[in-house]
Amino acid sequence: MASEVRGVVALAKGEPVSLVTIVVPDPGPGEAVVTVQACGVCHTDLHYREGGINDEFPFLLGHEAAGVVEAVGPGVTSVEPGDFVVLNWRAVCGECRSCRRGRPWYCFATHNATQKMTLQDGTPLSPALGIGAFADKTLVAAGQCTKVDPAARPEAVGLLGCGVMAGLGSAMLTGEVGLGDSVAVFGCGGVGCAAIAGAVLAGASTVIAVDLDPGKLELARQFGATDVVDASSEDVVASVQALTDGNGADVCIEAVGNPKVMEQAFYARDLAGTLVQVGVPTPDMRIDLPMIEFFGRGGQLRPSWYGDCLPSRDFPMLVDLYLQGRLDLDRFVSETIGLDDVEEAFHRMERGEVLRSVVVV
Ligand SMILES: NC(=O)c1ccc[n+]([C@@H]2O[C@H](COP(=O)([O-])OP(=O)(O)OC[C@H]3O[C@@H](n4cnc5c(N)ncnc54)[C@H](O)[C@@H]3O)[C@@H](O)[C@H]2O)c1
Ligand SMILES: [Zn+2]
Ligand SMILES: [Zn+2]
């Protein structure tokens, strides 16, 4: 029997979201229905609502979630009812050209549930990032469920499902930060603070936080930044160089999604350093670099998709580090809210007041 539950839906471009009744089908082959316990509010949800991703309204929002598997469809063996899971948007296929070459974290053919959740009148919903977890229950592909230790707090570990994983991975996986490295993180929202936490975990000895907002710089320190640069008043490149013996940082991470910041991160690197781009640009953004600077500085420029994570490998490991007290995921949870407070949470996010508002269902 399909279930009728509550869900936060963006019905039309730019309009406030609505809490409505949605229909969640029983899981078919390869699918699972998950009872959502917690789901973080991410910029990407707002981008969907503003029509910035595509025009496939209505959207069922929410995608940084943890919950319990309620039912699985035929052929599902990876999870079973009762499992505590973090949802991911990288269900790897195992067969595409990237998976076959041993790089499943780039999988070019990730999948979502085949069936559609709908409004009560049968209108199909487009779930954000194939998840749609601002709801009592959601239907996903079984591969989108990663089983983790149920001792963990859902509000905290659900955030691994998107922004926090992207930030941690931008430092630990894409940036390959190592012992004794110097790292500069540009933009200290949820993603940037996670990059700082990742750099610290990976053994960086100098971790420089760059932001315009003094409150964010204070948070960055709490996540382990050793130095801060106030981008509203300082020459950012000169300040990063001054904090690294005049050389620039080994790894610079752009976590804003801004061409000016990208340029600063490019020039704030040491020779042969790495620039990681984890902030998501809009289609109109451009950067203009002299080719001689590109060549002369060497190193690597690396975009980071979802922190280059492999959920089945990385989520359980990071949850274990959290439970051991070595990765403070609780600090990302600025507030917990109800399903009826998502619209207001978007405004708090736009005003920069929170790292993450987390809906508790
Ligand atoms: N690559 C991925 O897979 C992935 C996944 C999730 C999110 N993201 C992206 O990461 C980016 C950051 O996400 P977030 O949730 O942390 O956003 P956020 O808005 O919470 O944080 C952005 C931070 O950048 C700061 N900032 C803005 N302009 C700045 C400037 N000129 N110089 C320095 N700091 C500046 C802001 O004060 C804020 O603290 C977004 O673009 C988001 O879409 C990427
Ligand atoms: Zn694949
Ligand atoms: Zn997200």
pLDDT of residue 142: 98
Q: Do 165 and 306 form a contact (C-beta atoms < 8 A)?
A: yes
Q: What angle do CA 49, 20, 74 make, to 5 degrees?
A: 95
Q: Do 182 and 250 form a contact (C-beta atoms < 8 A)?
A: yes
Q: Are residues 121 and 264 in the same domain?
A: no
Closest protein CA for atom 9 of ligand 1: 279
Q: What is the average pLDDT value for the chain, to the nearest integer?
A: 97
pLDDT of residue 1: 83
Taking only the tens place, the pLDDT of each residue in 152-179 is: 999 999 999 999 999 999 999 999 999 9
Atom of ligand 1 nearest to the CA of 260: 31
Domain-located, residue 198: yes
Taking only the tens place, the pLDDT of each residue in 311-358 is: 999 999 999 999 999 999 999 999 999 999 999 999 999 999 999 999
Domain-located, residue 182: yes
Q: Are residues 154 and 244 in the same domain?
A: no
Task: Give me the mean pLDDT over the 112-138 stretch.
Answer: 98
Tally of domains in the chain: 2
Helix H, strand E, coil C: the string for 295-335 is: HHHCCEEEECCHHHCCHHHHHHHHHHHHHCCCCCCHHHEEE
Range of the domain at 198: 164-305
Domain-located, residue 321: no
Q: Are residues 287 and 342 in the same domain?
A: no
Share of the chain above pLDDT 70, in %: 100
pLDDT of residue 340: 97
Cβ of residue 255 lying under 6 Å from some atom of ligand 1 = yes
Cα(105) to centroid(ligand 2), Å: 8
Q: Are residues 53 and 181 in the same domain?
A: no
Residue 283 confidence class, pLDDT cut points 50, 70, 90: confident
Give Cα 31 distance to the centre of its chain.
23
Ligand number nearest CA of 262 is 1
Q: Are residues 46 and 106 in the same domain?
A: yes
With a cut of 90, say whether residue 18 has pLDDT above it. yes
